[in-house]
Each structure stands twice: as C-alpha cells, then as structure tokens.
C-alpha cells in the first residue's frame, strides 16, 4: 500500500515497478470456479436448488481447505508429505468433545453468545492439543527421516495408525455424537432457497483462515521467510535464519489448522469416529494435487472446485459422486501437470 509514497520520496531513481516487472497474475484457474458454477445453473434447473448446492459446496470446500492448507504448506516448506495428517483431524474433533460435552448446558442454550463462546473454546482447546501433538510428531516421527520420501510415507502412515488407535484407547471405540449448538441449527430461507446456518459459518471461518494465511504469508516477515524457504531453503539458511525453527513452527501451525478443520468437520457430521480423519484424507490429497503441491492459493481453489464438483455430481448423477473427484483431478492434471499453481522448486 505504501509503495507509491516510498518511490515518490526517492523519485530520481526509476520506480521499482519499472525495475522489477511483476510476474503477471495467472487468472485462468481463478475463473474455473465461477465458470463451473454458472455452467451448472442450467443443468441443475432450479435457481433455489442451485443456490443451496453452491453454498453447500462452498462450505464443504472451506472445511477441506482448512484441513488441507497445513498439509500443503508443510510439504512446500519442508518437502515432507505427512500421511498422518488425517490423524490430527480426528484428534482435533475428539479434543473438542473435552469442552463440548461437559459444557453441554452452553451448547444447548438458546443464546448466540454462549454458543459461540463454547465453540470458540472448543476450537482453542482442539488447536492447542493438535499443535502440541504436531510438535511431538515432528520431533519423534518426522525429524529423523527428512529427505527420505519412502521412509516418510511409511513412518507417517505408522504414526497415523498409532494415533488413531490411541484415540480409541482414550475415548473408547464407540461413535461419539457431537451436537451442533442450538443457534447454529436450522436454515435461513432466502426466497425459495434454504441455506443451513452452519454452512454459512463454515464459509466464514474458511474465508477468515484463508485471508489470515494470505496476509501472514504476504505481509509479514515470517511469511516472507516461509515463502523464501519454499523457494530455496538453503539460501534462507545461508542468510542466517534458523530454518529448523521455521519448520517446527509451520508444522505446529499446520497441525493446529488440521485440528480446527477437525472441529468444523465433526460439528458438520455431528458424529465422531477415529477414522474420520483418514476418510477425509483422500479428498485432501486430491485437493492438494489439484492445487499444486505446496501452493496455498491453489489449495484453496482446489478445495472449492472439488467440493463444488462433488456436490453438483451428487445431485445430477449420484452414482458418480466420488469418481467425479478422480475425473476432475485427471482433467486438471492433463491441463496443468503440476497442478493449478505449480510451486517451481524441484
């Protein structure tokens, strides 16, 4: 924002925008979402149904984005693909029960403030638990195998098995119902279109996470270092920054985001199972492949695309709903083999 002033102050030199031509913005992937949504309007037929479907898709996409963003960032920075990321989602959701079940009164109260408070508290607890777990995971499981892909895949899978089993040991093998707070229930009616309130909340939270991540990555020093680390980690080290600390920080943040995603997803499904994280992981992997491994913006677009396509096909051709993700992935990769926004590094 302040750049023009700065360049005006040192006016004799050529302005920076001339000296360093900006990389042209890649608009094509951004257009995919609105084009897809508009194309589906005549196919779906009725406008209210289309609105409901689109909002549902957006909400789903936001929740997947929250879960996937940490994974893709960790991969971009450290070249570690955490196959155990799904376990953090489950742990986050189960940790939320520590708050939501004892404070049942607040959940059932017909007051927006109390409901928001209890969910906020649950989110904080879940993010703390998964953050600490992520730190331990990075120390114990991931650290010894940096740079060895095969072992990474195996060991993070093993970590996931252990974490999932630990959930059943601590919380028992049965499904746990997780009721949605009273005021989050029901739907808002706009004309003929019914929109579930919780989906709007999910969209809001997802957008907030995306905007925060975007600002942190593009407007702060930490973000600058992370982006530099994604492009060339050795150079960042050579400039005297401890990239190890950055690694740990990003890993913890990514795990905490998975925990947040787990709470959102758990409240959406309203029942919790230990395997819920690994079930959603397939979707998350497709999303980060589509988005381009390591790219947060691509991950956001990919999540919204996958969820919208799944929702539309679920309505139009129900039997194809899951295969639609694979088809979408194949189509995108045929168009851009590195994903929507390729992270040029390796």
Q: Give the residues lining the site for another protein (CB under 8 A).
A: 81, 83, 141, 144-145, 149-155, 157-159, 161-162, 165-166, 168-170, 172-173, 278, 281-282, 285-286, 288-289, 293, 319, 322-323, 325-326, 329-330, 333
Q: Are 90 and 276 in contact (CB under 8 A)?
A: yes
CB of 294 to another protein, least distance (A): 11
Q: Counting every residue, how long is the chain?
A: 346
Cβ at position 77, least distance to another protein in Å: 15
Report residue 288 as tokens: 């980060």
In the complex with another protein, the residue whose CB is nearer, 181 or 298, is: 298
CB atoms within 10 A of CB 217: 17
Give the residue among 140, 131, 146, 135 at the shortest CA–CA distance from 162.
Answer: 140
- Nearest-angstrom CA–CA distance, 342 and 346: 10
Cβ of residue 323: shortest distance to another protein, in angstroms?
5
Minimum distance from residue 45 beta carbon to another protein (Å): 24
Q: State the distance between the two ends of the chain, measured CA to CA, in whole angstroms.
A: 32
- Which of 159, 181 has the CB closer to another protein? 159
C-alpha R_g of the chain: 21
- Residue 232 phi, psi dihedral angles, 5° rounding: -160, 90
Distance CA 299, CA 54 (A): 18
Of 144 and 186, which has the nearer Cβ to another protein? 144
Contact present, 133 and 94 (Cβ < 8 Å): no
Pick the closer one to another protein by CB: 67 or 202. Answer: 67
CB closer to another protein, 205 vs 329: 329
Residue with smaller CB distance to another protein, 169 or 189 = 169
Q: Answer for the pair 309, 325: CB distance below 8 angstroms, yes or no.
A: yes
CA 186/CA 196 separation, integer angstroms: 6
Minimum gap (Å) between residue 38 Cβ and another protein: 27
How far apart are CB 154 and another protein at their closest, in Å? 5
CB of 233 to another protein, least distance (A): 17
Beta carbon of residue 134, minimum distance to another protein (angstroms, whole number): 16
Rounded to the nearest whole angstrom, what is the least distance from the CB of residue 73 to another protein in the complex? 15
Q: By the 8 A CB rule, do 227 and 217 touch? A: yes
Is 139 or 242 the residue whose CB approaches another protein more closely? 139
Pick left, alpha or beta for residue 270 (phi over 0 → left; psi -120 to 50 → alpha; otherwise beta): left
| Six token digits for residue 243 | 């990239």
What is the CA 342 to chain-centroid distance, rounded? 18
| Closer Cβ to another protein, 189 or 322, answer by number | 322
Within 8 A by CB and 6+ apart from 68, the residues are 284, 287, 288, 291, 299, 302, 303
């Amino acid at each position: 924002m302040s750049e023009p002033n700065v360049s005006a102050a040192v006016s004799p030199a050529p302005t920076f925008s001339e000296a360093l031509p900006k990389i042209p913005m890649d608009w094509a992937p951004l257009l995919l979402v609105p084009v897809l949504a508009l194309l589906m309007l005549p196919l779906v037929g009725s406008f209210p149904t289309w609105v409901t479907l689109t909002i549902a898709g957006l909400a789903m996409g936001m929740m997947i984005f929250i879960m996937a963003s940490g994974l893709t960032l960790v991969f971009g920075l450290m070249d570690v693909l955490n196959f155990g990321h799904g376990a953090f989602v489950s742990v986050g959701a189960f940790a939320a029960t520590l708050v939501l079940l004892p404070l049942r009164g607040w959940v059932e109260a017909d007051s927006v403030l109390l409901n928001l408070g209890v969910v906020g508290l649950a989110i904080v607890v879940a993010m703390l638990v998964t953050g600490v777990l992520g730190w331990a995971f990075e120390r114990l499981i991931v650290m010894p195998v940096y740079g060895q892909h095969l072992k990474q895949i195996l060991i993070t899978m093993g970590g996931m098995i252990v974490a999932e089993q630990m959930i059943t040991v601590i919380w028992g093998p049965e499904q746990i119902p997780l009721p949605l707070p009273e005021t989050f229930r029901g739907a808002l009616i706009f004309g003929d279109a019914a929109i579930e309130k919780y989906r709007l909340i999910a969209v809001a939270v997802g957008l907030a996470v995306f905007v925060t991540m975007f600002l942190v990555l593009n407007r702060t020093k930490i973000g600058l270092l992370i982006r530099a680390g994604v492009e060339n980690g050795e150079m960042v080290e050579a400039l005297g920054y401890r990239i190890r600390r950055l690694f740990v920080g990003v890993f913890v943040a990514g795990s905490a985001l998975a925990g947040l995603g787990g709470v959102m997803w758990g409240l959406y499904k309203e029942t919790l199972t230990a395997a819920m994280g690994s079930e959603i992981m397939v979707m998350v992997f497709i999303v980060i492949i589509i988005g381009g491994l390591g790219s947060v913006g691509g991950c956001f677009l990919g999540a919204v695309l996958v969820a919208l396509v799944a929702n539309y096909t679920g309505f139009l051709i129900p039997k194809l709903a899951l295969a639609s993700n694979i088809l979408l992935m194949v189509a995108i990769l045929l168009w851009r083999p590195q994903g929507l926004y390729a992270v040029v590094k390796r």
